[in-house]
Amino acid sequence: MSRPITIEDVRVILTQPGSARLAVVKVITSEPGLHGVGCATFTQRIHAVAAAIEHHLKPFLLGRDVARIEEIWQMSMVHGYWRNGPVLNNAISGVDQALWDIKGKRANMPVYDLLGGKCREAANVYVHADGPTPSDVADRVKSSMDDGYRYVRVQQGMYGGNTETFVQPEGAPPGAYFDPKRYRRDTLTMLEHVRAEVGDDVELLHDVHERLHPADAISFAKAVEPIGLYFLEDLLAPEDLAWFERVRAACSTPLAMGELFNHPSEWQTVAEQKLVDFLRMHVSQMGGITPARKAADLAHRHGLRTAWHGPADTSPVGHAANLHLDLWAPAFGIQEWYQPSDLDRTVFPGLPEVRNGYLYPNDAPGLGIDVDEALAAEYPIVDGVEQWTQTRLPDGSPVRP
């Protein structure tokens, strides 16, 4: 019997070629020239993830057989005793995706073939259109349509809407203030205007970003029902999952949920009880490809579809992993796409490409993407205190972002 190929080193590559701090894991093997890459990006707590990999996962992983992905994932998850938190999940995800990348390279097959082969040649994607007024948003949707996109997420003033004109208490602390009532009113007006301007040939999406009290969220979901959204995203927070049953009773607006989920019981609950229509977990947040493929099977069994989280603070490696899941999963729905820069494509050679609204792989073995470490080092991460997650109501009360 031939000797197994083992993990010889685990590197954490921190880089910021764009607006977001990114963490990429590189697993070096005992086979000369064979390595894999994975996404471990938790941009708001990136140093905690890097420390978890460097000081805890790496010593645990050295010398292990790279072929044993499932066993490594399971043991990594329980080895720290406490589990299913975002820092550890992202750390494990980086290693997990890298091991799938290695397995594909060893087999000379793309990861989607290892999962069972393609169900489709490319993945429909949606992009973002934001603006200060309904007319601005409509114009940006039209621009996206001109670029070949058929699915567009629309926001006015990003999460929570515009915040210039409400009264704050004297001495109110700084923060990302928003008025929930004004947000509901302005967003409904914007959605009605955009639908009237662009017609029904483009699918519109909107992200509430858990900004509403559950009772107000139900009212809002019912109010937007006539607009015919492809889905309404993160209408409620994970802490408020029980309210989804009341949303279902009130309206038929399609619902997407999951980017903040860490624990399998969260996505199992909404799938098994059919409380939402799309599962859209952040693949590195949930622990990588190994749990994501199981969640995709769960979605298929219960009549849901996938819509993996794909913002700019997912690394290009993470976007490649999303695409392999998209191409394979029978229950695929849509993929969020962040429209990478030319610099992103240089730092991360092999990044998937969009043509006429579809995201295509490059069909190289493994994940088909790599990281130029020398170039990545030229764009070090910039530390700072996040502002947009310091969310407050008009009276200054802290709320979930």
Long-range contact pairs involving 341-348 (C-beta distance under 8 Å, separation at least 24): 341/17, 341/18, 343/17, 343/18, 343/379, 344/17, 344/18, 344/316, 345/316, 346/372, 346/375, 347/15, 347/17, 347/316, 347/371, 347/372, 347/375, 347/376, 347/379, 348/315, 348/316, 348/317, 348/372
Question: Mind listing the pLDDT tens digit for each residue in 122-137?
Answer: 999 999 999 999 999 9
Check: CB of residue 20 under 8 Å from CB of residue 383: no
Q: Kindly write down the DSSP assignment for every residue of 262-281, as one continuous string.
A: -SHHHHHHHHHTT--SEE--
**167 — pLDDT class (breaks 50, 70, 90):** confident
Residue 168 pLDDT level (bands cut at 50, 70, 90): confident
**Which of 205, 211, 252, 213 minimizes the C-alpha distance to 233?**
205
Low-confidence winner among 99-103, 159-163, 202-206 (lowest mean pLDDT): 159-163
What does the pLDDT average to over 243-259? Answer: 97
Identify the active-site residue in 209, 282, 309, 319: 209
Residue 200 has pLDDT above 80, yes or no: yes
**Catalytic: 300?**
no
In the chain, the percentage of residues whose pLDDT exceeds 90 is 95
Model confidence band, residue 1 (pLDDT cutoffs 50, 70, 90): low
Q: Which domains does the chain have, with CATH numbers?
A: 114-366 (3.20.20.120)
Q: What is the pLDDT of residues 366-386, one digit of tens each?
A: 999 999 999 999 999 999 999
Residues 108 and 133 sit within 8 Å (Cβ to Cβ):
no
- Which residue of the set 112, 126, 149, 159 is catalytic? 159
Q: Is pLDDT at 198 greater than 90 in this prediction?
A: yes
Task: Report whether pLDDT(170) > 70.
Answer: yes
Residue 89 has pLDDT above 80, yes or no: yes
Residue 230 annotated as catalytic: no
Which of the four pLDDT bands, split at 50, 70 and 90, describes residue 264? very high
Mean pLDDT, to the nearest integer, of 43-53?
A: 97
Mean pLDDT, the chain, rounded, equals: 96
Q: What is the mean pLDDT of residues 204-221?
A: 97
